[in-house]
Structure 1
Amino acid sequence: MMPEMMNFEAEPMTVPRPANTVRAAITPRNNSVYTSVDFDREGKQIGFFHVPQSPHDDAWGTIRVPLAVIKNGDGPTVLIEGGNHGDEYEGPIALGEFLREIDPRDIAGRIIAIPAINIRAVEAGTRTSPVDGLNFNRSFPGDFNGTLTSQIAAYVHDILFPKADYFLDLHSGGSSLMILPSAIIEPSPTAQGHRKNIKATLAFGAPTVVMVDNLGETRTSTASANHQGLIVIGSEMAGGGLVSQDALAICRRGIRNVLKHAGVLKGAPDIAPGANARVLKVPGSEGYLLSEEDGVFEPLSPLGSAVSKGDLAGRIHFLHTPSRAPIDLLHPIDGIVFAKRQPGRVRPGNCCFVLANEYPEALTDGP
């Protein structure tokens, strides 16, 4: 017997939305995903949503994705996601700690948390899912008739986003990048939404704030949440497939700060000394330095350093052809080194550096 499935389309929205919130209407697509939690129940629930799967060794099984709901009275809903990529660890660690510690009596409203959303990738420690090879963060709006990654993205898009007012997406650089611990501004399609995103991102309280539009990519979770009218905050916490204690501390504080900014937790955000010290913007494709060769990458520009167009960024060495001299990589623009590649091995098209420019307009621009 399969467990009883919940009728998502019939679920009432009992948590009131903030005033003047304009939201896109979403009609959930037919699906067979079900959950062990009740989104409208008071208190703390930590359970799962189940995606039915029928592989060779489990005819009527499911993939269980951890899902938590903490609710106390009326107030906004904040959706927090970790484990979007399975080799990014600070977010899932900090979110798991928060879920164990939080007392529902300390909040006003609702928190929905998915600390290991790309569950099979989290288990494998990989950026993409080992089940279908897909990148969860390039799979929105998803497809309930697709593979596992597409079904999970569809559940977040159709079921979870419409319940939320705020979306906090916790990332780090993963195995292939080292990134300045940063809060990420997701550009909104509206001026008012963009301003709200900036204010909420500054409330996170990271040392560096960076606006990243992923070259206009629309298939990410943050772009999808933006399209539905949520207030969106992202983060990038170090990387290299490691767990940074400094970045973890920033992430722990940032989760609570966003909840305070939203009014779900009491008090003002705890903005540490040095937070929001730099506000930057990745300018577009010209900010990315890509490899054009197959070899071994030697980076020469430290994270956070200021560079000028034409400066030596690094070299690519050809170990299999010792008679060939390495080639130089030159920075394409003036900027700050926001991210650099972690593995030495590179192929054509691999990202070696990402540069960002000062973005003072973020502190004054917009409504």
Structure 2
Amino acid sequence: MTNLQVVGSEVLGRSAITPRRNSIFTSVDFDRPGKQIGYFCVPQSPHDDAWGAVQVPLAVIKNGSGPTVLIEAGNHGDEYEGPIALGELLRDIDPQEVSGRIIAVPAINVRAVEAGTRTSPVDGLNFNRSFPGDFNGTLTEQIAAYLHDVLFPMADYFLDLHSGGSSLMILPSAIIEPSPTTDGHRRNIAATLAFGAPTVVMVDNLGETRTSTSSANHQGLVVIGSEMAGGGLVSQEALAICRRGIRNVLKHAGVLAGDPDIPAGANARVLKVPGSDAYLLADDDGVFEPITELGSVVRKGDVAGRIHFLRSPAREPVVLRHPIDGVVFAKRQPGRVRPGNCCFVLANEYPEALAHEAVADEL
């Protein structure tokens, strides 16, 4: 086992961070050529294991010189396409194919992955709302701190693989994470279009700064996200998009040889979730009946769905109406709802992503 120190990035304009003191150790050597699949280990002392550690799967594939691409899956434990596709890549790839380094964490929220839940069963936290993390905090906060302080400074690119999880169905999409800088935003758009999904959506999570992608952005990495279907299922269509998209990003970065494989129909729809008005939330406790289909084009005021009250058969259902014009990007999966549950997310066209000449030049 090797105690890990932060390795500085060579990317122009990257600012170094000072790593916080921590006790996390790893079974891999980030600088050793070849393929290594092991763990980073987070010491824990629960009732049944006084001096134990939580082993988070970690892989490093290194050969020659080139950039480092960090790929994360299992951010939420009920999102499956990313971990499956990333595991396939790690088993299949020959280090001789690589120019540079791939660092992969295929089940980063490992206890949530084991449980098939969005949040960790250990501490109840959402890993993707836990950055920059805390090495003196709970398990989720410690893993987030390790990503923030140790892995991000090693990387030039960050690919974050998601799906809708148990509660949402989402159009299989590549996600543009808006960067705090103009140049960073341009690079993010170029890399996201290179992923090659049929739909591209810019999502800023209402300005949320506690996500892994926001954290990577603020450290100057090129950031790409994805949302691959959901509903707690594994979609063959989304899995195929994800497999191809991972390799496309590696090709775009120059870690794999060749040009990205952009199929017909890729990037056909480029959208943006415009803000809080795009989210249709339930105000009632009942059973949700979605009426609008995923991917539909809707107008403000169109009927989106209804909420029924099964214990009060005399009560009329509440009609939900779309709050803005747009495309249905995400739709709630479970029928049961309570006030505040997200029922629909809408997106509008975002032609700026395709109109940017620098993006077109890079592709």
Once the 2 structures are TM-superposed, how far is the Cα of residue 105 of structure 1 from its aligned partner? 0.2
One-letter amino acid matched to 2:280: L
2:227 to 227, 230, 236: 236
Counterparts of 2:185 and 2:355 in 1: how far apart (Å)? 12
Counterparts of 1:307 and 1:136 in 2: how far apart (Å)? 33
Counterparts of 2:92 and 2:139 in 1: how far apart (Å)? 31
Residue 63 (str. 1) matches residue 24 (str. 2):
no
Once the 2 structures are TM-superposed, how far is the Cα of residue 344 of structure 1 from its aligned partner? 0.3
Residue 8 (str. 1) matches residue 5 (str. 2):
yes
Conserved in 1, the CA contact under 8 Å of 2:272 and 2:347?
A: yes
Partner of 2:93: 102
Once the 2 structures are TM-superposed, how far is the Cα of residue 364 of structure 1 from its aligned partner? 2.0
Once the 2 structures are TM-superposed, how far is the Cα of residue 7 of structure 1 from its aligned partner? 4.4
Partner of 2:207: 216
Counterparts of 1:277 and 1:5 in 2: how far apart (Å)? 46
1:249 to 240, 247, 270: 240
Conserved in 1, the CA contact under 8 Å of 2:2 and 2:29?
A: no
Change (3 A) 1:332 1:163: same
Residue by residue over 1:107-165, the C-alpha shift from the partner in whole angstroms, topping out at 9 and shown as x without a partner, is 10000000000000000000000000000000000000000000000000000000000
Residue by residue over 1:17-39, the C-alpha shift from the partner in whole angstroms, topping out at 9 and shown as x without a partner, is 45xx3212211100000000000
- State TM-score, norm by structure 1: 0.96
Counterparts of 2:13 and 2:90 in 1: how far apart (Å)? 29
Once the 2 structures are TM-superposed, how far is the Cα of residue 230 of structure 1 from its aligned partner? 0.1
Residue 329 (str. 1) matches residue 326 (str. 2):
no
Counterparts of 1:5 and 1:277 in 2: how far apart (Å)? 46
Partner of 2:298: 307
Conserved in 1, the CA contact under 8 Å of 2:289 and 2:306?
A: yes
One-letter amino acid matched to 1:347: R
Change (3 A) 1:207 1:7: closer
- Report percent identity of matched pairs: 80
Conserved in 2, the CA contact under 8 Å of 1:303 and 1:337?
A: yes
Residue by residue over 1:150-186, the C-alpha shift from the partner in whole angstroms, topping out at 9 and shown as x without a partner, is 0000000000000000000000000000000000000
Counterparts of 1:47 and 1:327 in 2: how far apart (Å)? 52
Aligned-partner SS, 1:8:
coil
Q: CA RMSD in A?
A: 1.1
Partner of 1:318: 309
One-letter amino acid matched to 2:201: V
Conserved in 2, the CA contact under 8 Å of 1:195 and 1:366?
A: no
2:139 to 133, 148, 157: 148
Partner of 1:37: 28
Once the 2 structures are TM-superposed, how far is the Cα of residue 93 of structure 1 from its aligned partner? 0.1
Conserved in 1, the CA contact under 8 Å of 2:72 and 2:108?
A: yes
Residue by residue over 1:303-333, the C-alpha shift from the partner in whole angstroms, topping out at 9 and shown as x without a partner, is 0000000000000000011110101000000
- State TM-score, norm by structure 2: 0.97
Counterparts of 1:261 and 1:116 in 2: how far apart (Å)? 24
Q: How many residues are paired up? A: 358
> How does 1:256-267 map onto structure 2 within 5 Å?
256-267=247-258
Write out the 4+ residue segments of structure 1 that deviate beyond 4 Å after TM superposition.
none
2:41 to 47, 50, 54: 50
